[in-house]
Amino acid sequence: MIEDISIRDLGVIGQASLPLGPGFTAVTGETGAGKTMVVSALGLLLGQRADGGAVRSGSPQAVVDGRWSIPDDGPVAERVRDAGGDVDDGELFLSRIVSSEGRSRAVVGGRSAPVGVLGDLADHLVVVHGQSEQIRLKSQSAQRSAVDAHGGVPLAAALAAYRAAFDAWKAAQAELDEITGDRDARLAEAATLRAAIDEIEAVAPQPAEDVELDASAERLSNAEDLRLAAGLAHEVLSSEALEGAPDVLTMVEEARRQVEHVSQHDPELRAIADLLAEVSAQVSETSSRLSSYLGSLDADSSRELEAVQARRADLGALVRKYGPTLDDAVRLLDDGSRRLMELDGDDDRVEQLEREVGEHEAQAIRAAAAVTELRVASGADLSRRVSDELTALAMSGAELVVEVTPRDELGTSGADRVELLLRPHSGSEPRPLGRGASGGELSRVMLAIEVVMAASSDVPTFVFDEVDAGVGGSAAIEIGRRLALLAERAQVIVVTHLAQVAAFATNHLRVVKDASGAVTASSVQQLQGDERVAEMARLLSGLPDSESGLEHARELLDMAAARPEPEPDAAPRYTRSAQPLTPPVDRPLCQKRCR
């Protein structure tokens, strides 16, 4: 849960600290004092998009710090450590800094981290509901999500199994459509590949063969010059055919013998003799290699050159057609052969895919039926529990109807269309929430759904931003009472303008507006005793000093403090076992139209 939040230079709030802690915290204040900035600050800590326009006028940046109490071994602590942060004795510190230019950075567990890490933590830390959530509740996808969430682990597992079958079915169908839909194009591709492979196989190119042939052509084109130069070099090195002078090998050997003959008289000559021996060996090796080279030169090199040039022409034709390099043509032979086998196997693959499509479709239909069955049960239970809550929220006779009807075709969410309908009173026709509920009714429906679903939720904190808009009188008192019951198992933070709701809070914070300076500023006060009574009177009548208003405020606080507890032998009214807050009454509320 959130222990406290510190805000600096956000909106109209210059500096404020919000002590929160367990139970029910109400945040009140005059219009324009900045109550919603509290929710905005929390949104920044949960990774919501930063807006430089929210920074207080004249300030370079806004800073929001939050301190949470969390389990040391839970998923939040694990994600924080993955991001390089620390959880110190069950305390987690989060911070968000937003510049007036709109840039922002986050600090998680004492370490800088991407803002996305805050978003990863959000689902495990806080559930925020406001007017935007009421609008979202009007969409069928959100309504379906509420029913699915209420179904718990069994429905989640059934949905996962359905989606796996649905994805496999669609993947097989897509491949089948590709093959059958492009049959003419695939036949043309196969013909083109077959012709190319036949042409390349006829030439049978080898990798880098063109480079070797280029070198051969260069050698053969200059074969006569090469033969003449190599022959002369061989004669100079080791031939007795030279007239008038010995060859190089003979002279080196003579020099070595002369030096060796006297080397015993001077050690320095011994090293020179060894060097001459090495030179003699190298000259002999060079002469031998020249002899071998001369032997490798074909006397009829012109015929070999013609063969090389013809081969180069064949390879060049392949390069021009399938290049830009010879290696591309070689790769086409390998890759094209595999592709041709695939294309030639289309008939077999089509038959196999048709079987797979049928099998996967049947599996998806069976899985969708299992999802439908669980949705119907979840919808019936949700409608019963929410309707009981609506009775407690001064909507006596109102019923929430969960309607599960078949779709025209299977979709990613199953075979059902899920819609929440509201029957305002007995005997009336249920109407969609988007058209059949006023703002106040929608607020109470949303609160009732949240209270019911919170019983099986692991999220430790619920934040409600003026969900009591459009509500007053006894309905407001009941909203306050239900929020107080919710706070028995979770931390509840409510931004409200109704004294009837704030009266049930165990922690009352007031956002105070100070207009004495050039710029309006707000801060936060924790109210107790007479200060809280005065704030309640202001909420009730706008007159914090009125005796009648103060008396009314005290009466309201006394009433909230004396709210009845459950009977000792009654079933738990608010536990994780998804017990309703009021005794369930069986009603046939979930409707399913058969196909």
CA of 548: how far to CAs of 535, 536, 554, 582, in Å?
14, 12, 10, 34
Higher per-residue pLDDT: 588 or 468? 468
Give me the percent of the chain exceeding a pLDDT of 70.
86
Extents of the domains making up the chain: 200-341
Do 66 and 17 form a contact (C-beta atoms < 8 A)? Answer: no
Closest C-alpha to 68, from 86, 47, 94, 45: 94
pLDDT tens sequence across 344-353: 666 677 778 8
Residue 243 confidence class, pLDDT cut points 50, 70, 90: low
Rounded-to-integer distance, Cα 508 and Cα 23, Å: 11
Residue 467 structure tokens: 């969900």
Q: What is the pLDDT of residue 582?
A: 37
Q: 436-467: string of b/e by CB count within 10 Å (b at 16+)?
A: bbeebbbbbbbbbbbbbbbbeeeebbbbbbbb
Residue 27 confidence class, pLDDT cut points 50, 70, 90: very high
Rounded-to-integer distance, Cα 225 and Cα 229, Å: 6
Closest C-alpha to 35, from 509, 540, 539: 509
Q: Is the pLDDT of residue 242 over 70?
A: no
121 contact partners, CB below 8 Å, separation of at least 6:
46, 47, 76, 79, 80, 94, 108
Q: If you write DSSP's letter for every residue of 464-521 in order, what string do you get?
A: EESTTTT--HHHHHHHHHHHHHHTTTSEEEEE-S-HHHHTT-SEEEEEEEE-SSSS-E
Q: Is the pLDDT of residue 318 over 60?
A: yes
Q: What is the pLDDT of residue 136?
A: 61
pLDDT tens sequence across 443-455: 778 778 877 877 6
Q: Is the pLDDT of residue 3 over 90?
A: yes
Lowest mean pLDDT among 22-26, 434-438, 575-579: 575-579
Q: What element of type H or E holds 10?
A: strand 2-10
Do 118 and 46 form a contact (C-beta atoms < 8 A)? Answer: yes
Rounded-to-integer distance, Cα 176 and Cα 356, Å: 10
Lowest mean pLDDT among 430-434, 485-489, 538-542: 430-434
Higher per-residue pLDDT: 311 or 377? 377
Exposed/middle/buried for residue 370 (C-beta within 10 Å: 0-12, 13-18, 19+) = middle
Q: What is the pLDDT of residue 458?
A: 75
pLDDT tens sequence across 73-85: 888 899 999 989 9
Q: What element of type H or E holds 125?
A: helix 115-125
Lowest mean pLDDT among 331-340, 403-412, 420-429, 469-478: 469-478
Mean pLDDT calculated for residue range 218-243: 76
Q: What is the pLDDT of residue 31?
A: 77
Q: Is the pLDDT of residue 144 over 70?
A: yes
Q: Is the pLDDT of residue 376 over 90?
A: yes
Q: What is the pLDDT of residue 569?
A: 37
- Given the structure tokens 């904190």, which residue do they identify? 461
Question: What would the 3-class secondary structure string for 232-246 be?
Answer: HHHHHHHCCCCCCCC
Helices (runs of H) and strands (runs of E) counted in the chain: 20, 16
Residue 130 confidence class, pLDDT cut points 50, 70, 90: low
Higher per-residue pLDDT: 181 or 377? 377
Higher per-residue pLDDT: 124 or 517? 124
Lowest mean pLDDT among 72-86, 332-346, 559-573: 559-573
Task: Determine the residue type at 376.
Answer: V
pLDDT tens sequence across 503-530: 999 999 998 887 665 556 778 889 999 9
Residue 233 confidence class, pLDDT cut points 50, 70, 90: confident
CA of 452: how far to CAs of 449, 460, 594, in Å?
5, 15, 28
Q: 74-105: string of b/e by CB count within 10 Å (b at 16+)?
A: eebbebbeebebebeeeebbbbbbbebeeebe
DSSP at 131: H
Mean pLDDT calculated for residue range 112-119: 90
| Dihedral angle sign, alpha carbons of residues 183, 184, 186, 191 | positive
Task: Determine the residue type at 111.
Answer: R
Q: Is the pLDDT of residue 313 over 50?
A: yes
Q: What is the pLDDT of residue 54?
A: 85
Q: What is the pLDDT of residue 344?
A: 65
CA of 245: how far to CAs of 236, 252, 318, in Å?
10, 13, 56
What value does the mean pLDDT of the chain take? 82
Rounded-to-integer distance, Cα 420 and Cα 449, Å: 11
Q: What is the pLDDT of residue 520?
A: 63
515 contact partners, CB below 8 Å, separation of at least 6:
none
Q: What is the pLDDT of residue 394?
A: 74
Closest C-alpha to 69, from 486, 491, 489, 465: 491
Lowest mean pLDDT among 144-153, 238-247, 410-419, 441-450: 238-247
Q: If you write DSSP's letter for every residue of 257-293 in order, what string do you get?
A: HHHHHHGGG-HHHHHHHHHHHHHHHHHHHHHHHHHHH
